[in-house]
Structure 1
Amino acid sequence: MTRRFADATAEELREELVAVRRELHQAVEIGLDLPQTQGILLRELEGLGLEITRGTSLSSITAVLRGGRPGPVVLLRGDMDGLPVAEATGLPFTSTSGAMHACGHDLHMAGLLGAARLLVARRDDLPGTVIFMFQPGEEGQAGGRIMIEEGVLDAAGERPVAAYAIHVDSATPRGQLVTRGGAMMASASAMRMTLRGTGGHAAFPQLGIDPVPVAAQLILAVQAFAARRLPATDQAVISITRLSSDSEASNVLAASVSLEANIRTLSSTTLDTVRTQLPVLLAGIAEANGCAFESEFIASYPVTYNDPAETREVLAVLDDLVGAERVTRLEAPSMASEDFSYVLQEVPGALVFVGAAPDSGPLPLHADNAIFDDAVLPLQAQVLAELAWRRLERG
């Protein structure tokens, strides 16, 4: 394969990409409304000759680059929002707003800006069109789905033939590229439950129906459900993440208990099993103990599915760029979730992880001390630009 973007060319962008990444890190915002973040990105995109569209119900940016040669459309995506985490990294550019880019989205934006600069510099030879998708609300607000509803996939006049995204990882060695064909990340859903008894005096539980010990039975049943109702080859992770009662005194029995379960699956079949069978099981336990039971299923992100054919091509490009020893073929999917899944439901493509662990050692995502080595930014830009160009050349 012939490289379109040399290492040295990408490295020339390092200083400006690091600077804008650190500015974005300090300007972190949460959710769908990110005016300061959007403003920084619009400033950086100014003068590149892109067709810019802002979102109407969220602070998204869609930028279209039309190449000088005819060809198809490819989409590149970077997410924009942070997390409600008070930063404790001690970095000189630490966020002080009470929110933090603890999942590396500041690097995602800077890396996508770098890809745009690389591709714009060779616009005349570009064999097609590239959509740059800057997306808010990845951390639970389904910003990707909203951008699709607002037309991001049709921004160039025709649908993309492929879509790619990079996600940095503070627990993977710097510069290591990681992906797999098929299921890459899990779906994420929730089930909210209410268990109702009668309440009463804590000294006389026999005179009422105490829902608290029944809630304990439900929690154990949830754990047994995953182990005994689902195939070992297609498991789910079901965790009770919230538990509270309406009792406000130590001598008062609760009249109701509220629970919430987080549900992660790797297939729609398993998700359907959980959605239909788990509430029936839990309602039966509640009824046997004299309690009323209500539940609400809340669907969130679908499985992030890397198209197998596209992933084979992606792996070939990655091997060529950095060498096979720096490319990891992931054996099993991650049980975390990603709303790039909405794009991959509509367009074949792939999500790739790039290691950005600091020299001090690996750190978990979403932690208040998560540090990402922004030395990987030129690599991010190069990989995204190379993937887009080579897919356009394939037609």
Structure 2
Amino acid sequence: MLQFERLATDPASHARRGRLTLRHGVVQTPIFMPVGTYGTVKGVLPQSLQQMGAEIILGNTFHLWLRPGLEVVQTFGGLHRFENWHAPILTDSGGFQVWSLGAMRKISEQGVQFASPVNGDKLFLSPEVSMQIQTVLDSDIAMQFDECTPYWQGEGATQGGSGHVTSEAEARASMALSLRWARRSKAEFERLQNPNALFGIVQGGMFEHLRLESLQALVELDLPGYAIGGVSVGEPKELMRQIMAHTPHRLPAHKPRYLMGVGTPEDLVQGVADGVDMFDCVMPTRNARNGTLFTRYGDLKIRNARHRHDPQPIDPSCSCSACAGPDGLSWEQGGRGGFSRAYLHHLERCGEMLAPMLASIHNLHYYLNLMREVRAALEGGVFAAWRLRFAADRSRGV
């Protein structure tokens, strides 16, 4: 079940405001989706996610398949009751995790053979198996099984290693395989009579004409929604932005568009302008665990010694429970609740688990509030002016 409505558009860009109705609830778009790899958003209670306005979260097909295993999730009737999250859930297909295994996996037309990173067991993941797993998880949005096209090929698959930049021929072969897997994913999804929605994933590496071929072939499958995959995989930022500008607005206007694994606040705002409706990224929680906090006025490194005596909250404009306290009033609104930078600096230096918990709450609230501001700007017809103010604020510095 999926219904997508466009509620407003921006005449100066491809940005749009929408509403997505799924089996477990309604999602306002553009939206950021917190990542819950193992059935939990690290360090954040479901109640806290609800309070900060999260409307949909992610689960990880690959990792949940390995642990706790399908028989456990099936006992609970799916992922929602198992993790006590009763709003929508999107699950990825496992393709990205398989790609990240590197030499531990062997790709064939049938699927991927690999050794479990948990216990070394030999496992096999295919489009059919991925659809079977996601059907047991009962996620509102399932993703087709695809091959994530890397930017760098070879040992380490990173610049500076012994690999090489993915060639056009390699990107074409990978894209074509993903298309064949998309057809198989759809066939198995329908055979299983899964009542949820299946999204296709546009691949093609950093080659625009391959992206267009992938897009056109996926559109012929008439899937409920589409994603742009294979970005933020080691390519330079300008190439990522090039694909962001090229692909989203060419997808069907009456269906939701999802940019996978991106990114910084600036990336999200640019993605909205390019026509994206849905985003996910581990950056808010991963950066929180490393002491980096996002604020309206730039990024803050809480471990820096200059914060040792600082009485300010993380972000004086923020109303999250870490910054504003129970009254919900930011410092700029006259509130004086919340935790100081000095306190979070102290927790970080002592290795206290409360530090990444509070930082995660703040960063996720920042991302979700950023999307609320984007939606309000689109509704009010002032998105262009809002973007200028956003950029000026972020460059001001904390």
TM-score, normalised by the number of residues in structure 2: 0.25
Q: 1 or 2 for the larger relative contact order (CA 8 Å, sep ≥6)?
A: 1
Q: Highest CA radius of gyration, 1 or 2?
A: 1
TM-score, normalised by the number of residues in structure 1: 0.25
